[in-house]
Amino acid sequence: MNLFGTVLSYSAPSANYRGESENNRAVIQKITFGRFEYAIISPEAMRNAIRKTLAALEQKCNRTRLEDSEQLAVEFKDYPDPEKYVDDFFMGWLIAAGKNDREKIKKELKEKGRNPESFSFKSDSRLRMNMAIALEPYRHDSVFTQSPQDATSKEIKAHKNTENSQLLHRETTYTAFQYPFALNLKECQAKPDWTKSLLKAIGQLNNVAGNHARSYFEMAPASIVLRLTPQLVAGYDTYGFKIKDGKHLFSEVLEGIVEGDYPGEEFFVGGKMVKEMEKKELEDLKGRGVTLERNPQKVLELVGEKAFPAKI
């Protein structure tokens, strides 16, 4: 079985997820679609946040971000071990090592009591993700803030920041973001509890990237559409969310289920979009076998239980 999902966040103002600064201007990363530019968030940023969320859920992770570093930096506890670390299991790894380095690593593994012959220097990610894309085009909005003059005493000059007050220019946008993810559940059978924890982490995703030291923007689902299917592809536009008159719509799938284009029993729908549905639409979808929940975290929990039922 394969699990395909699309998550839609709540709308909120954001100056996060930015690329390199341009002079004193913090630039949001964007992609062009049609005639407009849309803010984006990289899957790498979301994967890093998923690691942090899994760690907060008391799962062991191999890689951690070093926050107090002069440049972007990470630290690994050990060589990759998908039996021990949840992030190695789901996100894979690559160790760039030549022949001599490989022999040294295998020797170290043997000294640590691990079987060097079963060790792999690379592994694909079981969790597949794509960019998160804003639902609303970037409107060239900016905000200006001012940093204060640093009047720190000369006795601790080494700790002093820029002496003069600075005018800071930040691009900003007010939007929701949507992103797809996919899991081959056959590849996850060895770790059903980890898989359920991963789905739980997606349901509580936060602190994704960028300026979150000062800004707060949740990437947890406001609405979510999931398909649990033997098919190898989702079979629909995985960026299918639209907001119309304040309502969350995923028309291709929901209308397609009613019309018989998709098997309704494969779909799990949750969150704000369920709360907004008319009674007839709810009855039509339930009649087609769709699982509907007002709480998006509950939907993820149900899918985990359906994929890996508890043994009695």
230: in domain = yes
220: in domain = yes
* Beta-carbon contacts of residue 9 (< 8 Å; ≥ 6 apart): 132, 176, 177, 178, 217, 218, 219, 220, 221, 222
3: left (phi over 0), alpha (psi -120 to 50) or beta: beta
d(CA 177, CA 222): 10
Low-confidence ranges of the chain (pLDDT < 70): 16-25, 156-163, 209-214, 312
121: in domain = no
CA distances from 211 to 15, 150, 154, 288 (A): 7, 21, 30, 43
170: helix, strand or coil = strand
- Position 281 scores a pLDDT of 94
- Position 311 scores a pLDDT of 73
Name the domain count of the chain: 1
288: in domain = yes
Residue for token pair 């670390």: 85
159: in domain = no
- Position 50 scores a pLDDT of 94
Candidates 249, 239, 243; CA nearest to 33 is: 239
- Position 214 scores a pLDDT of 63
For residue range 24-75, list pLDDT tens digits in order: 667 788 899 999 999 999 899 899 999 999 999 999 999 988 877 777 788 8
213: in domain = yes
Give the domain range for residue 265. Answer: 2-75+127-149+165-307
For residue range 109-132, list pLDDT tens digits in order: 998 889 888 888 999 999 999 999
70: in domain = yes
277: in domain = yes
d(CA 128, CA 285): 28
